[in-house]
Amino acid sequence: MMTQAFYTGLSGIKSNQTAIDVTSNNIANISTTGFRGTNVEFSSLFEEAINSIGNSATNSIGIGTVVNSTSMMSGVGSLKLSENSTDLAIDGNGWFGVDNGNNQILYTRAGDFTFDAQGDLTTTDGMYVLGTMAGNIDGLALTQQVEETPLGEVIAQEKLRFPKSLSYPPEVTTNTKFSGSLEVSVEARNIFTASIIDSENNQNFLKLEFTKIDPQVLPGMQWNVKASSQSSDGITTYDTQNGIVEFDEKGGLTSSTLATINNNGSDVSIDFGQGFDGIISNSSGVPVTSLSDGKVGGELVGYDISKNAEVIASFTNGEQSSVGKIALFHFQNDQGLDQISSTKYSSSSNSGNPLFYKDAEGKNILGSEILNYNLEGSNVQLSQSLTELIVLQRSFDSNSKVISTADQMMQKALEMDA
pLDDT per residue as tens, the chain (418 positions)? 456 666 676 766 777 788 788 888 889 889 899 998 888 876 666 555 555 555 555 555 556 677 666 778 888 898 999 999 999 999 999 999 999 988 899 999 999 999 998 889 999 999 999 999 999 999 999 999 999 999 999 999 999 999 999 999 999 999 999 999 998 886 777 899 999 999 999 999 999 999 999 898 989 999 999 999 999 998 999 999 999 999 999 999 999 999 999 999 999 999 999 999 999 998 888 999 999 999 999 999 999 999 889 999 999 999 999 999 999 999 999 999 999 999 999 999 999 999 999 999 999 999 999 999 999 999 888 888 788 878 877 776 776 776 677 667 777 766 775 5
Look at residue 3 in the predicted model and tell me its pLDDT.
Answer: 62
HSE at residue 231, side-chain half, CA atoms within 13 A, is: 6
Q: How far apart are CA 328 and CA 357, in angstroms?
A: 9
* Contact assessment for residue 237 and residue 229, using Cβ atoms and an 8 Å cutoff: yes
Strand, helix or coil at 8?
Answer: helix
Q: Return the CATH class of domain 175-292.
A: mainly beta
pTM: 0.76
**Dihedral sign (CA 258, 264, 266, 271):** negative
Among 92, 153, 42, 170, CA closest to 370: 92
**Are the CB atoms for 183 and 176 separated by under 8 Å?**
no
Is cis: bond before 150, omega within 30 of 0? no
Give the per-residue pLDDT at 239. Answer: 97
Helical (H) or strand (E) element with 397? helix 382-417
Domain boundaries, the chain: 2-74+379-417, 82-165+317-376, 175-292
Q: What is the dihedral of CA 365, 366, 371, 375, to 10 degrees?
A: -170
- Candidates 305, 341, 371, 366; CA nearest to 80 is 371
Q: How many CB atoms lie within 10 A of CB 381?
A: 16
3-state secondary structure of 202: coil
Residues 6 or more apart whose CB falls under 8 angstroms from that of 166 comprise 137, 140, 141, 142, 299, 300, 313, 315
**pLDDT for the residue numbered 9:** 64
